[in-house]
Chain A
């Protein structure tokens, strides 16, 4: 095996390189110094890395005997996620300087980069071994990140809940994988599984294996009923981690889910997992909504909203086609800017005042009109109100789901549409609190920090422009033109 094969893993190497630089700088800088340089350095390095990944020529490479593949779609989703992580870094720039965290901010960046590295492996894996390594690399450091406010009871509780359920779900996933291994004639390559598990030979064991696979991966996506950890963890974790969990982790896993189920289990789609996914999507969208309408804590609220959004993302997987993958990637991109826009506002307000209740947002427009404006746009986009990006992403993902023309999928989209109406209610609750609810503003006027402001600007620009500029969707669609997918 030549080391030249590593050259194919450019995005991973970039992340790894940044990780090493940050690590070395963190370890070897003098103790006791405030390490003020660390945050700007990481942000700038990561920004450069993001630009580099966007500019990289997309090509088809398959290395390590086909275990690792970098195709146009993988490159595109990595580029998209990178932007999301960059926004997360910007909005956390102020938080990491707070007294409690400042001394450990190196760890924060290192752990974050390692999880991102794991997610990249998940995205590019075409062999289950690599996939599981990526999954674990993405999961375990996250538990440490969730517990980052270690002196806070909620943070520790969240981490414990997260690690326990994560371990359990990994076990289930591996169990499912072992069943798959039995069927695939001793190979864990996606392509081998594809050829060996043909339709027409369904058995109870295979169905159980599929259910366990969906459960194991659905855990990270927080699909219902594998989602119960989500709310507690989102609420307890530091807000920067919550926003990271809600978009980046979800985006990467959704993409990996699509690749696995289309490229490894594509043949048994109509027999088996189409209906499982169907049921799970309906449950996810509906239950997420049902819980979201009762929440009073904004972080918890965002947790349930993100559960529901994950259901919409998975609609893209219902048609294992280019248009499905393209609209899924587009949805993820739009979801990143919309959700992170909301989180940027929540972070700013939490950092200044410590308030995260929905009641605290009453009359916010009187004191902080710009934050109110940004939050309103984010909510409109999440709810899918034209002309904001969220409308177009929902529209495209619905179109893709109905593109095969099968009646059950129309029903699925109808249910999703009804749920959109319900979601409108709770997203508008936030808008109502900000603009309409009477009473004095509970949050005093303040100026948010540079990083948070920059993050907000990016998100608002994305929310306004992504729908109106046709290139973004075209980019996603063209990237999704990978072999093995129908139109």
Chain B
């Protein structure tokens, strides 16, 4: 495979962004939509081809002696700060990036197609497609980055395009503030990531060039990951804020991932981000951008394994977040927010799975790859079924014109396609065989039990909660009690147009069969195949738990009954707290407005207004003063010009003479 195809994968979306962004105003909606969809279709086909070649061609570049290799398709120098701190732009092909290419382009293509129907009547349709293309470009650039700095650049671009898309309905104040919130929170997290990158690369680039690290760029993933042990030895003893440098660096980098993946306590932006168009939520806030944090940890996995503390940190953060988000999801009214918290919870699941992938050292450094593989597997299946659920929610909103489940109920008769596909999505996420979620979740739980029974038990509980709140949502939308509004003329909900139904059916089909992919043969932490086998005790337990949870949901929500209200009234404090997401937003509001704004920002503002502005004003005053004073020099008389000229030369000579001799 030449480098043309990898370049095309990045170039086509970028070109489409420029084309639709600049020329879109003059295009008809139809043309812009068709262009966007076709281009993305082409990117998807190329990505499939690249991934297929990578996994199946047997080329020694890609697989050597049964071990899948990392391959830099191209890697050109872009900026050289110092000899070692060189930023390259390249294209890295390895199991996870090939897998991500497939995930991103599939979901993105589905969303492009779906949006054609969903956004049909929205103003700014062309702009919307331009932003989608920009997002796809950024996300693809992120996953194929050959070095941490390239990844960081695209990481920020992803943040920008997410900002643009969340705030797409820029006339709605809530959308504008949600987009700002998302941008500021993730950017705040990225600050820590940048510090982490700088700490890491500073110490690595200080290693002698003739040492084992060689003179390669200090940002390069391959170099960093292949020499994880050496780096640990190099920076041993070096401390940063009274901790080991490597631990600090890896934890700080992970904080960036926490921001993008909405881990507690940086999760607050994701529920609000649901203000964006629903297909955007499906693409960005369910399947691609939010898993960037998981991808980041997976990308740096060898380095994380060197510092077990950081993996423990990841596990704890993930476990708390998963439980928290699952509890909150049980009490939300807005269907998209339920899905948002479900996403947070599921991503936390993947994080825990990565965190427990480290095992106790048996012979030197040894780690089991099960958790890693399972996490990536779940990333894959989750992307498909969560996008399906979001797109299904979009179809519901399209039909009912509300995000609120109280406006729904009994919809199964009116929207059969949406109903069945949504049910498949719910079964998949609940972990019922043979749907895809069951298989990946089973592997993850197995990895957790392998590490420590506590993590396994804890996450089994979260899995139970997941099944419960998803079926609560399902019953409240499609069963419960039919909304009397539907009987009125012109209010009868119906299934969405074909552009929206096709993606639903396709993703539902994928969710039915994706579990049977022998994922371990393709994606493992070290490239060697891992043979998946079901752990019967784990599988049986989790099925039983899921069925119990679904049964409970059926009892409570299948038909209108007073049971849910009873529960709610039995523990009003807990319900209210969960409904308000345990007051995280209020805490942030208090800390930022009352503490940071009042105490820190006021003094900084004073400094800015008086010292910095004062300097600038003084500069302006002095400039203006002299500017007036020397006006006469430019008299317009050529005699005067020549005089100045000659005098200038003489003064120059005389002064130099006086100074030197």
Contacts and interface: CB of A to CB of B under 8 A. Distances in A.
Q: Do A and B bind each other?
A: yes
Given A164-B638, A165-B641, A207-B660, A225 B648 contact: yes
Interface in B60-91: 77-80
Contact of A279 (B619, B647, B655): B655
Interface centre among A207, A279, A425 (most CB of B within 10 A): A207
A208 B653 contact: yes
Contacts of B623: 289-290, 293, 422, 425
Given A160-B638, A290-B623, 10 more contacts: A172-B645, A172-B646, A204-B657, A207-B657, A208-B657, A210-B653, A224-B648, A226-B649, A422-B623, A470-B79
Given A202-B661, A204-B657, A291-B627, A418 B648 contact: no
A447 interface: no
Contact of A225 (B79, B616, B645): B645
Interface centre among B619, B644, B649 (most CB of A within 10 A): B649
A401 B649 CA distance: 24
B538 to A, nearest CB: 52
12 contacts: A172-B645, A172-B646, A172-B649, A202-B660, A208-B653, A226-B645, A229-B641, A271-B660, A279-B655, A290-B623, A294-B627, A425-B623
A290 B652 contact: no
Interface stretch (A92-100, A212-220, A252-260): A212-220
A224 B657 CA distance: 20
A287 interface: yes
Interface string B632-661: 011010101110111111101101110111
Given A164-B642, A271-B660, A207 B627 contact: no
A168 B642 contact: yes
Contacts of A271: 660
A280 interface: yes
B647 to A, nearest CB: 8
Contact of A293 (B79, B624, B636, B649): B624
A346 interface: no
A276 B627 contact: no
A211 interface: yes
Q: Nearest 10 pairs between A and B by C-beta?
A: A225-B648, A211-B653, A215-B649, A228-B641, A290-B627, A211-B652, A208-B653, A161-B638, A211-B649, A207-B657
A311 B30 CA distance: 54
Interface string A265-308: 00000011001100110000001011101100000000000000
Contact of A470 (B77, B626, B638, B641): B77
Interface in A216-251: 219, 224-226, 228-229, 231-232
A164 B644 CA distance: 14
Contact of A422 (B77, B78, B619): B619
Contacts of B638: 160-161, 164-165, 229
Nearest to A271: B660
Given A212-B649, A219-B645, A228-B644, A275 B656 contact: yes
B3 interface: no
B630 interface: yes
B646 A275 contact: no
Contacts of A276: 652, 656
A43 interface: no
Q: What is the interface residue range for chain B against chain A?
A: 35 or more
Contacts of A210: 653, 656
A421 interface: yes
Contact of A228 (B616, B633, B655, B661): B633
Contacts of B487: none
B652 A425 contact: no
Contacts of A214: 649, 652
Contacts of A289: 623
A169 interface: yes
A429 to B, nearest CB: 13
Nearest to B635: A228
B634 A418 contact: no
A107 B446 CA distance: 87
A276 B627 CA distance: 23
